[in-house]
Amino acid sequence: MELGIIGLGKMGGNIALNAIEKNIRVVGKATGPKPELSAKGVNVVSDLNDLVNSLKVPRVIYLSLPAGPVVDSVLEELVPLLKKGDVILDGGNSFFRDSIRREEELSKKGIFFLDCGTSGGMEGARNGACFMVGGKPEGFRIAEPVLKALSTEGGLIHTGKPGSGHFVKLVHNGIEFGMLQSIGEGVALLEGSGFELELADVFKNWSCGSVIRGWLVELMEKGLREQKGLSSIPGYVEDTGEVNWLIHEAIEMEIPAPVITQSVMELFKSREKQSTSAKAIALMRHGFGGHPFGKDDYISKERKTSRITKV
């Protein structure tokens, strides 16, 4: 098996290493050298022609890029180099309506475009991700062996028609926001209780058989131990804005989503005042996705540009 990867950052680089360990030949495009990947067997190139010419037909190429105009820019350069039957996977958090448009455009050229919602953070990318894939069944069948090898057990689903993969991932991210907010509020309650509680030990206990056990609870324990509490964590929660899109969709569908909506409102509050719950949320987001502590101008800009289609 072979895989082309465009974008060898936190997610793309870890997917590349995951693939190498699964005996998948990887050609990755990056803007500069990646010696840590080259040393592991990733063929790192700086030119799209080199990437395309290094892969056998039908090619499977995974985009690990920020959502928004950069995806269209790369597609504009990449597609003329491909042949009918090649497959492009958009593994970023693109707006699902943008993915529907892109699939329609590429389908006319005989290129399969799959919207590949990718979850599991950097750890999942490295050791076994969760993929939610929308697009034509013929394209999915071509990419399926590679995706199955890169996913954790049970972590690959073909969700159906184009756009469905990124929509399912969007709903996933909304649920994630609600869970983060709930855990953050729990931390605030524990810290303000007046009891002398060792928070990391409490979250360790909750990871062992409790009803709320799960990865976010585990990340809370891990982060508390690594950061020695929350005092050094800024209470400003940065995000790229995808869950805002989901709230718009809920309004259009007239489906109530009060918990997800309120979790976004609480995130906005974090930008005005410091709170324990916001610090806890920032700690968990850093744990699963490497999201920054505090304000980040690049991500703030991405929040405004990552969704192209407005209706």
pLDDT of 298 reads 66
Tokens of 184: 């953050």
**Token representation of residue 25:** 């030949």
Whether 168-305 and 2-161 are alike in CATH topology: the answer is no
- In order along its 311 residues, the chain shows pLDDT tens digits of 999 999 999 999 999 999 999 999 999 999 889 999 999 999 999 999 999 999 999 999 999 999 999 999 999 999 999 999 999 999 999 999 999 999 999 999 999 999 999 999 899 999 999 999 999 999 999 999 999 999 999 999 999 999 999 999 999 999 999 999 999 999 999 999 999 999 999 999 999 999 999 999 999 999 999 999 998 888 888 888 889 999 999 999 999 999 999 999 888 888 777 788 888 888 888 888 777 777 777 667 776 677 778 65
What are the residue boundaries of the structural domains of the chain, listed by start?
A: 2-161, 168-305
Q: At what angle do helices 199-206 and 164-191 cross, to 10 degrees?
A: 130
Write out the catalytic residue numbers: 169, 176
Instruction: For residue range 237-283, list pLDDT tens digits in order.
Output: 888 888 999 999 999 999 999 999 999 988 888 877 778 888 888 88
Which pLDDT belongs to residue 296? 72
Residues with Cβ < 8 Å from 144, sequence gap 6 or more? 156, 158
Of 64, 120, 71, which is closest to residue 99 (Cα–Cα)?
71
Q: Measuring CA to CA, which residue among 295, 196, 185, 301 is closest to residue 241?
A: 301
Helix axes 137-150, 10-21, angle to 10 degrees: 80
User: In terms of pTM, does the model score above 0.85?
Assistant: yes
pLDDT computed for residue 293 by the predictor: 72
Quick one: pLDDT at residue 267? 86
Yes or no: domain 168-305 corresponds to CATH 3.40.50.300:
no
Alpha-carbon gap, residue 42 to 16, rounded angstroms: 7
User: CA 112 to CA 20: how far, in whole Å?
Assistant: 24
Radius of gyration of the chain, Cα coordinates, nearest whole angstrom = 20
Q: What is the pLDDT of residue 241?
A: 86
CATH number of this structure's domain 2-161 = 3.40.50.720
